[in-house]
Amino acid sequence: MTVRSAPAADVPTPEQVRAELAAWVRECWDPDRPLRDWRELLLGAGWAVPSWPRRWYGRDLPGWADELVATELIRLGAVGIPVGSGSWLAAPTILAHGPDELRERLLRPILTGAQTWCQLFSEPGAGSDLAGLSTTAVLDGESWVVSGQKVWNTSAHHADMAMLLARTDSSVPKHQGITYFALPMNQPGVEVRPLRQMNFHASFNEVFLTEARVPRENVVGAVGLGWAAALTTLSYERRFAALQRPGYSLTPGRALAEARAEADRHFATYSWYPQRAGRPDLVVEHARAAGVSTDPVIRQAIARLVTLHRVSQWTADRARLARAMGARPGAEGSIGKLAASNVARESARVHAMIAGAAGLLTGPDSALGGVIAEVLMSVPGQSIAGGTDEIQKNILAERVLGLPGEIRVDRDVPFSQLTGRG
């Protein structure tokens, strides 16, 4: 399943990687080069994703090299691969599951930013129970014909491609009949309808698929083995629960201007995500502004929150270090995601204590210019996106603590018998 090769015995140190990268950037970086041309150079030199194999735009370096190189490129005033679910979710899944023809065709446009991606997994009847999905794909000559409905699909309104899960065989148990496709979004059979959220944003969508076409060869992994590829995507999703905007330098130049515009486009969808995380960074400022920073009950609540936040950051640091040492994404993703939910909820509670009823007001005159109202309305999303808190607890209970599994009566029954559909 994996195409990662073992790092060479003579693995360079982080200092050596830094020095080699800096020399290469000095030689090759031209701020007036078009962004895509610069990224082609990154791919060619193996600096795009340095932990990947040389054949696929990497350098066979250990896992720590990806974060180090991404950070160093920005520090040197240059640009790395694009942000977004293409490079964070689709690319590692395609790399891990192949086949080579798809790696050849799809990885390059993801890593240069020529194509953006979204994730078409959830359905109205299949969220936590994702394997219960009922969108179907039927082979018709040289293409698969896909019909069904997806929902909560972030950024589907401006994606070129989608990671799509669809059922290709109903005669086998539900996890076995699923295939993972790379679906072209811009076609008549794909209708994207934005959903308006209670925090006034519209970052996700309903997607209606009516005989949408997927080229026959756009199967990630193999027909009927989509569940394994889906688990790879989900493990990366938990790992990247917190999205960070790259801090590109303000130096003029075409490549940087294009990278900033690309990040602006991408993060417009996610502008409420910091509020979704609860904004624990704002509690002290909020308490002072509201004149309650000497209230002993509020002070105690703030101290508790700051402690929780600090401990969760240490947990995240430990997970980052484990990845840097070459560990594949694992249980620490679920622990980190659960910790982030706890921090967000506690932070919203403390902000609500500070603001009182005024926290319900929105607009520029309300608490911290409306940020607090947005926090209170956005925090519930933290416990749902990328797998709910309860699902993370199930994963930890079963895979880490070794507790008895949930009773799953539908695991071995053909999907068609569960649904009465053929």
Ligand X SMILES: Cc1cc2nc3c(=O)[nH]c(=O)nc-3n(C[C@H](O)[C@H](O)[C@H](O)COP(=O)(O)OP(=O)(O)OC[C@H]3O[C@@H](n4cnc5c(N)ncnc54)[C@H](O)[C@@H]3O)c2cc1C
Q: Does 358 bind ligand X (CB under 6 A)?
A: no
Q: Does 244 bind ligand X (CB under 6 A)?
A: no
Phi and psi of 179, rounded to 5°?
A: -125, 145
Q: Shortest gap between Cβ of 316 and ligand X (angstroms)?
A: 19
Q: Does 397 bind ligand X (CB under 6 A)?
A: no
Q: Which is nearer to ligand X, 331 or 384 (CB)?
A: 384
Single residue of 112, 153, 168, 233 touching ligand X by CB under 6 A: 153
Q: Which is nearer to ligand X, 69 or 234 (CB)?
A: 234
Taking the C-alpha atoms of residue 410 and residue 132, their distance in angstroms, rounded to an integer, is: 10
Q: Does 37 bind ligand X (CB under 6 A)?
A: no
Q: Shortest gap between Cβ of 15 and ligand X (angstroms)?
A: 39
Single residue of 204, 227, 248, 415 touching ligand X by CB under 6 A: 204
Cβ neighbourhood burial of 313 (10 Å; 0-12, 13-18, 19+):
middle
Q: Which is nearer to ligand X, 124 or 356 (CB)?
A: 124
Single residue of 176, 313, 394, 416 touching ligand X by CB under 6 A: 394
Q: Does 285 bind ligand X (CB under 6 A)?
A: no
Q: Does 388 bind ligand X (CB under 6 A)?
A: yes
Query: By Cβ distance, which residue is nearest to ligand X?
Result: 127
Q: Does 187 bind ligand X (CB under 6 A)?
A: no
Q: Which span sits near ligand X by CB under 6 A: 14-22, 23-31, 245-253, 381-389? A: 381-389
Taking the C-alpha atoms of residue 25 and residue 145, their distance in angstroms, rounded to an integer, is: 46
Q: Does 381 bind ligand X (CB under 6 A)?
A: yes
Single residue of 119, 134, 334, 341 touching ligand X by CB under 6 A: 119
Q: Does 127 bind ligand X (CB under 6 A)?
A: yes
Number of residues near ligand X (by CB under 6 A): 19
Single residue of 136, 385, 395, 415 touching ligand X by CB under 6 A: 385
Contact residues toward ligand X (CB under 6 A) are: 119-122, 127-128, 152-154, 204, 381, 384-385, 387-388, 390-391, 394, 406
